[in-house]
Amino acid sequence: EIKLPVLLNLALAAYKMRTYTKSHKFCDFAMEMESGRQSVKAHYRRGCVRMMMGEYEDAEEDLDRALELVEGKILLLEDGKDDDGGCNDAKDLKDAKEAQSERAVILREKQKLNRLVHQAERNRRRQKKAMEKLFQSAEENNTPTPHAESDEGASSLYPERKGAKPQQIITSRDDDGDDETLGEDRRLSCFGWYMQMMGRCAQKILDIIGEDDEGGDYVADIRRRLEEDKKDA
């Protein structure tokens, strides 16, 4: 007799703290007893917990069972009325009012559950429509489009425009300032390109400074070394 109220109070405390899993376990422990299986509060509280956990079908079963039990209690109290239609004593009157109050609370929770079920169904339909639109747009974007055919008649991922000239790669400039283009096998490496640019800068500096009689040998030596670096690159 003491164990059932304690478990129901623990379930209520856990429910108010929003620890629904613990509240559900306390209700299950209460249901293991015969008095718990016949308790209106046990079924009602487990139904509320399951409703908050999104288990709408199980919650409906518990609320229906709680409503069935409380209506049975009301019928028993009505059968115990005297000939004038009143209750036999104050205790029966109190129990009748309590049963009517429990019935009203259970009906309110069932209405709340019905609203949640309808809202969940609407959300499910909206999500389904949104996913259908998403997949349709994805299929339209993935539809293959015809590419321009190459000279051999095969399509490529990045077709070239007809009549477009091949891009020339400028690797160096000659003494007259004209660009020199080299083939794939004569492309300069990064180091070679760096050395070539350094040689150009040094040559420009030497042209600005000029060559006098005293520094002529030194300038010639620098030019010789730059020419050797170019050949090595």
Specify the amino acid at residue 204.
K
Instruction: Supply angle C-alpha 79, 80, 85, rounded to 5.
Output: 85
**68 pLDDT higher than 50:** yes
Q: Is 69 exposed, middle or buried (0-12, 13-18, 19+ CB in 10 A)?
A: buried
Structural tokens at position 221: 């030596």
Quick one: pLDDT at residue 90? 73
**51 pLDDT higher than 80:** yes
User: 0.95 cut: is pTM over it?
Assistant: no
Tens-place pLDDT, residues 185-200: 445 567 777 777 887 8
Quick one: pLDDT at residue 143? 60
Quick one: pLDDT at residue 198? 80
Quick one: pLDDT at residue 227? 73
What percent of the chain lies above the pLDDT cut of 70? 63
Q: How far apart are the two ends of the chain, measured CA to CA in Å?
A: 98
Tell me what the pLDDT averaged over the chain comes to: 76
Tens-place pLDDT, residues 127-169: 888 888 888 876 676 665 544 444 444 444 445 555 545 444 4
Tens-place pLDDT, residues 116-125: 999 999 998 9
C-alpha torsion 48→52→53→58, nearest 10 = 40
Specify the amino acid at residue 197.
M
- When mean pLDDT is compared across 12-26, 107-121, 142-156, 202-216, the lowest value belongs to 142-156
What percent of the chain lies above the pLDDT cut of 90? 39
Q: State the average pLDDT over residues 63-88.
A: 78
